[in-house]
Amino acid sequence: MEERLFEMKKGRGRVWWWLYACSMQLGLLLIWVYRASHVPEAGARGRWAWIAVSAAELWFGFEWLITLSVRWNPVYRRTFQDRLSARFEDKLPGVDVFICTADPTLEPPTIVINTALSVLAYDYPPEKLSVYVSDDGGSIFTFYALLEASRFAKSWIPFCRKFNAQPMSPALFFSKSSATAHNSNVSEWTAMKKLYEDMERRIDAEMKRGDISNEIKAQHEAFSEWSSKTTSKDHQAIVKILIDGRDENAQDTDGFAMPTFVYVAREKRLNYHHNFKAGALNALLRVSGEISHGPIILTIDCDMCANSSQPIRDALCLFMDEERGHEYAFVQFAQYFVNLTENDLYASSFKIVHEVYFPGLDGQGGPFYTGSCCFHRRECLNGRIYSHETNKIWQERQRPKIHEESVGALEERTRSLATCSYEENTQWGNEMGVKYGCAVEDIITGFSIQCRGWKSAYLNPKRAAFLGLAPTTLSQSLVQIQRWAEGHLQFLLSKYCPPLYGFGRTKLGLQIGHIFCGSWGFSSIPTLIYVVIPSICIVHGISVFPSVSSFWFAPFAFVIAFSNAFSFWESHFYGATFKCWWNGNRMDLYRRTTSYLFALVNTTLKLLGIADSSFVVTPKVAHEETLKRYERGIIEFGSTSPMFTVLSTVAMLNLFCLIGGAVNVLAGGGMGALEQLSLQFFLCAALVLINLPIYHASFFRNDEGRILMNTTLLSVAIATVACFVPVF
Ligand SMILES: O=c1ccn([C@@H]2O[C@H](COP(=O)(O)OP(=O)(O)O[C@H]3O[C@H](CO)[C@@H](O)[C@H](O)[C@H]3O)[C@@H](O)[C@H]2O)c(=O)[nH]1
Ligand SMILES: [Mn+2]
């Protein structure tokens, strides 16, 4: 029997983990027993507060239970590329890479071309590689930058090949390596760096001018597609083949063939809904289907550059495995980020998600498709149902030869596939392609593929396959998470509701994994209860937890201590510092009280037909000063946002309650009161500690990123009033 192309291993230390999980469960059970047996009598002061806190605890317990789904049975995969090469090197399938960009200001063209160049330089036969950029911004600057990149690629690809340059994004590569690292080839290194910087300068210069010069426009007929009337929301479809891999004259400076490289801006009209990224991907699916028709598709965001030259081959080790390969519809890679700070200020590394949750989902037969860094079978995206007879041989559809169809004719033909009206009365966005109508189009699409009987796999190779850009301000980060939470909730409430639609089609663990994400929106309410009510009760001298001397104090202390100890140990195990963990806890709190809350409210409004769907693109650039603060680990507020008002109000409230409570105890309550309220004091003090940056940003900072005065005043006012509202 032939050796497998990949292997799967179970996670280590499972016995310890189960011990932890069982003792936590025991602690939770005891808490629930306490809650069930100690309900204050009707009419007692603070009865409703007590009940609300109990309900929140019940919810947290439920949340804990459903996270078991992503921790139950983690599996870790390893691939064997040497075996792949030995058996399949001459039968490798065509691979089409889709890069999406939507806005030339939020996503500057220099970022987009770095991503494009990085994948053009993959270690893969160039005649089998095609790269498509979808430009939802319909921007002449993005087009110009890509045109420049297509020329630069002729030197960049051979350079990467020769020096095994990684990451293959030139900007990153030159920022991370130095000429001396390429000792004997200093001159080539410096020459290439200069070539790149000159190109970058030309692009930036045109952007600064706000127009493309006539001289440049004369270089390519495609510039005539843009007129003074063209806007990102209103223009015809544009398809331009910048490098035609079929053309024998398309060669790099070493005389090797080049990958195909295509610019696509689908048609946009004001009276047509464009379905955001999902619409862009579907247009690319059709256009690429005519140009290269690669049976494997990689989708990436415009800021996710290739950090390693190997992921295509890694993914193929799964797809082409003789025994199991035919079961897999897509292979999701871990997403890493280049611009994280030392202590991961906004908790954007998602380390535990990568190292634990996704392997956990893999153990349930289906890591999610998360939009970027994922290889798909084209036929699965196109709606194919799983069967045992899935093509194991990767026959490529015969591509038309260059002399058979001119580039111009091909462009014209495919342009008609990217029009607004093309999808009318078709199954696109429904049974075919990426699904429409959900803010996490990726998750819902992946799930529906799994419901058609396919499996997915997760890979997290030693050398990160992709490096992206994480948000660099608090509001960007919270808005991004809001979109995700909203999307997951929408998904849960849609006809694809995982436990209903997925029943009998997918594993229970996977369905629960989706419920876990779908429940983020709801978890805002119990979290708000927990951070507000016990603190207010301190001021009123009302106890909502058992007192220190009671037996029932023990399970609370145990659960608090043990869960924090575990989560600290876990993040430490995966290389995080104490501050990372601390920042992670803060972000978890902030996401719950703002992103999740707003997601819940918005979803409700949408269900009622009051709000419309939107997609707030995360900016990939920031002001210099903002970036400096980010790098120094200072949280960026700086604007008025209802989210900041919520955060600041909660923080002020906790501060006032802590002070008010302490005064009460000192003034007369004495030790008895302290004993009664100890857990509340502990909770409140912990919240004050975690909110220190908010007090700092409200009262002590005077940079642009501080909390604005009106937000502070408003939240102080609300918090003061809240301290005095009667508690029932
Ligand atoms: O109308 C649109 C809006 C967005 N995009 C692109 O979609 C990608 C993701 O947008 P971004 O603002 O960076 O969102 P993120 O939250 O960082 O993206 C994550 O979450 C999205 C779903 O919410 C997924 O689509 C992404 O793949 C996933 O990386 C970017 O390349 C955009 O250019 C479009 O092509 N058209
Ligand atoms: Mn992004």
Residues whose CB falls within 8 Å of the CB of residue 530, separated by 6 or more in sequence, listed in order: 53, 56, 60, 683
Percent of the chain with pLDDT over 70: 97
pLDDT at 395: 55
Annotated active-site residue 136? The verdict is: yes
Q: Where are the domains of the chain?
A: 8-72+510-724, 94-294+384-388+402-432
Number of neighbouring beta carbons within 10 Å of residue 714: 17
Residue 360 DSSP SS3:
helix
Digit-coded pLDDT (tens) for 207-240: 999 999 999 999 999 999 999 999 999 999 999 9
pLDDT at 728: 86
301 annotated to bind ligand: yes
pLDDT at 548: 94
Nearest alpha carbon, ligand 1 atom 8: 301
Instruction: Give, as one character, the DSSP assignment of residue 355.
Output: I
Is residue 258 within 8 A of residue 251, CB to CB? The reply is yes
Residue 324 DSSP SS3:
coil
Nearest alpha carbon, ligand 1 atom 7: 277
Tell me the angle at which helices 520-540 and 474-492 cross, rounded to the nearest 10 degrees.
120
pLDDT at 178: 74
Q: Examine the pLDDT at 604 and tell me if it is beyond 80.
A: yes
Is residue 55 within 8 A of residue 526, CB to CB? The reply is yes
Q: Examine the pLDDT at 398 and tell me if it is beyond 60.
A: no
- Distance from residue 620's CA to the centre of ligand 2 (Å): 8
Atom from ligand 1 closest to the CA of residue 480: 16
Nearest alpha carbon, ligand 1 atom 31: 301
Cα 444–447–453 angle (5° rounding)?
Answer: 150
- Distance from residue 276's CA to the centre of ligand 1 (Å): 8
Instruction: Give, as one character, the DSSP assignment of residue 465.
Output: S
- Distance from residue 600's CA to the centre of ligand 2 (Å): 22
- Report, as an integer, the average pLDDT of 692-701: 97
Reported confidence tier of residue 611, pLDDT bands at 50, 70, 90: confident
- Output the average pLDDT for the chain: 94
Percent of the chain with pLDDT over 90: 89
- HSE-CB of 631 using CA atoms within 13 angstroms: 9
Query: 60-64, 111-115, 391-395: which range is least confident on average?
Result: 391-395
Nearest alpha carbon, ligand 1 atom 9: 301
Q: Residue 158 and residue 123: Cα distance in Å, rounded?
A: 11
Considering only CA atoms, which of 495, 560, 494 is closest in space to residue 530? Answer: 560
Q: Residue 619 and residue 470: Cα distance in Å, rounded?
A: 9
Q: Residue 702 and residue 712: Cα distance in Å, rounded?
A: 13
Considering only CA atoms, which of 127, 117, 128 is closest in space to residue 155? Answer: 117
- Distance from residue 60's CA to the centre of ligand 2 (Å): 30
Catalytic residue (one of 135, 136, 344, 362): 136
- Give me the long-range contacts of 552-557 (CB less than 8 A, separation at least 24): 552/30, 552/31, 552/34, 552/38, 553/679, 554/30, 555/27, 555/28, 555/30, 555/31, 555/34, 556/31, 556/679
Instruction: Give, as one character, the DSSP assignment of residue 368.
Output: P
Annotated active-site residue 442? The verdict is: yes
Q: Residue 41 and residue 64: Cα distance in Å, rounded?
A: 29
- Report, as an integer, the average pLDDT of 707-714: 97
Q: 504-515 burial, b for 16+ CB within 10 Å, e for fewer?
A: eebbebbbbbbb
Q: Pairing between strand 6-10 and 374-377?
A: unpaired
pLDDT at 1: 66
Q: Examine the pLDDT at 182 and tell me if it is beyond 80.
A: no
Digit-coded pLDDT (tens) for 529-539: 999 999 999 99
pLDDT at 612: 86
pLDDT at 655: 98
pLDDT at 130: 98
- Report, as an integer, the average pLDDT of 581-610: 96
Atom from ligand 1 closest to the CA of residue 483: 23
Is residue 484 within 8 A of residue 521, CB to CB? The reply is no
Reported confidence tier of residue 387, pLDDT bands at 50, 70, 90: confident
- Report, as an integer, the average pLDDT of 362-384: 95
Considering only CA atoms, which of 304, 302, 297, 305 is closest in space to residue 168? Answer: 305
Considering only CA atoms, which of 571, 574, 601 is closest in space to residue 587? Answer: 571
Query: 1-15, 407-421, 616-630, 649-663: which range is least confident on average?
Result: 1-15
Reported confidence tier of residue 305, pLDDT bands at 50, 70, 90: very high
Is residue 163 within 8 A of residue 182, CB to CB? The reply is yes
In DSSP notation, 219-286 reads T-GGGGG--TT-BTTBB--EEEEEE-TT-TT-B-TTS-B--EEEEEE--B-TTS---HHHHHHHHHHH
Digit-coded pLDDT (tens) for 58-89: 999 999 999 998 998 999 999 999 999 999 99
Is residue 168 within 8 A of residue 131, CB to CB? The reply is no
Is residue 728 within 8 A of residue 49, CB to CB? The reply is yes
- Report, as an integer, the average pLDDT of 290-304: 96
Q: Convert 485-547 into a string of H (helix), E (strand) and C (coil).
A: HHHHHHHHCCCCCHHHHCCCCCCHHHHHHHHHHHCHHHHHHHHHHHHHHHHHHHHHCCCCCCC
Q: Which residues line ligand 1 (CB under 6 A)?
A: 100-102, 107, 134, 136, 276-277, 280, 301-302, 370-372, 439-440, 442, 480, 483-484, 487, 615, 617-618
| Residues 454, 460, 461, 464, Cα dihedral to 10° | 130
